[in-house]
Amino acid sequence: MWDKVPAPHKKGAYVSFSRDPEVLAAPAEFFGGPVEIASAPVGDVATRRAVVDAVHAQLDVAQPIPDDVKVRDFETTAADGAKLLLRWYAKEGAEPGSAVLFLHGSGMIASSVALYDGTVSRYVSSSGVPFLSVEYRLAPEHPHPTPVEDAYAGLVWLAERAAELGVDPARIAVMGDSGGGGVAAGLALLARDRSGPPIARQILLYPMLDDRNTSPDPALAGLITWSYDDNITGWQALLGDARGGPDVSPYAAPARMRDAAGMPPLYMEALELDIFRDEDIDYARRTAAGVTAELHVHASVPHAFETIAFDSAVAQRMKTDRIRVLRAL
């Protein structure tokens, strides 16, 4: 729940975290009152999908939609023969050069390209860098390896059509938030191991990386927005009975990566009040052993907070960093 904060811990117990005051106030201001979202049982994808999609539909248009971004739809064929939507966003009058392949969030079980139209358009308008958003198919209807294979099909399409789109194929980054950040990291691994199209940078925003992250941290009680039950549900949908076991592929759960050699440079954001915090920091640490890695850990904020508290000082700092990294591609 966005606006529920636990009572201070007693002496000798965990030192409690707290939310940034601007972030704490934002949900009630946005929705016009206290926010209470009923929890769904573990494994209930349908309820989570309905809630997430409805909220995303509101949040995506909560900020102005740029009028200088042109959108075109394309199609490619996935590894299993399915047709996939590819949505290309380009700023009018900008000379592309670089490009970003974007993968939307929501635990690999919800949301869509269309529900990120405003978000992606704002990145493109602010940076001048065009984006290709891939409609990868969602679990549980399409478990691993479908999401990452769909993302790979989008990457191959973009690399093959780089010249006609005005893109340098050596300057393509992959980017995603939350579950989409996990797919983006898995895609970077897959492209490396297949000697596929080169990836110039991973831009991972509080990504979902580790299927073993299922034990609640008491210090985060009452502060998180993506719960451990949500996490179990998402990973179970993607991996089925393999979740948490010894044989999970790093292309599905990139925290399982054994060797970071040859991975693209990394830009990573982790959030203090997020169950993904530690797995994100660890992924950045291991990646930094082989390539440049830039990690920002933002204090006192929960998962995806900037979609609602977009006027907060911390959200504005994050936006500035993201646009800086995009312009540097």
Q: Write the DSSP symbol of residue 70.
A: E
Q: What is the Cα–Cα distance from 234 to 208, expressed in whole angstroms?
A: 10
Q: How many CB atoms lie within 10 A of CB 311?
A: 12
C-alpha neighbours within 13 Å on the C-beta side of residue 120:
29
Residue 174, C-beta contacts closer than 8 angstroms, at least 6 positions apart = 100, 101, 103, 151, 155, 184, 187, 188, 199, 201, 202, 203, 264
Cα(first)–Cα(last) distance of the chain, in Å? 37
Give catalytic status of residue 178 as yes or no.
yes
Which one from 274, 298, 300, 312 is the annotated catalytic residue? Answer: 274
Give catalytic status of residue 127 as yes or no.
no
The SS3 assignment for 329 reads coil
Which one from 150, 300, 303, 312 is the annotated catalytic residue? Answer: 303
Backbone angles phi, psi at 34, to 5 degrees: -55, 145
Which one from 125, 127, 178, 312 is the annotated catalytic residue? Answer: 178
Q: Which residues pair with 172 in a beta bridge?
A: 99
Q: Which residues are catalytic?
A: 178, 274, 303
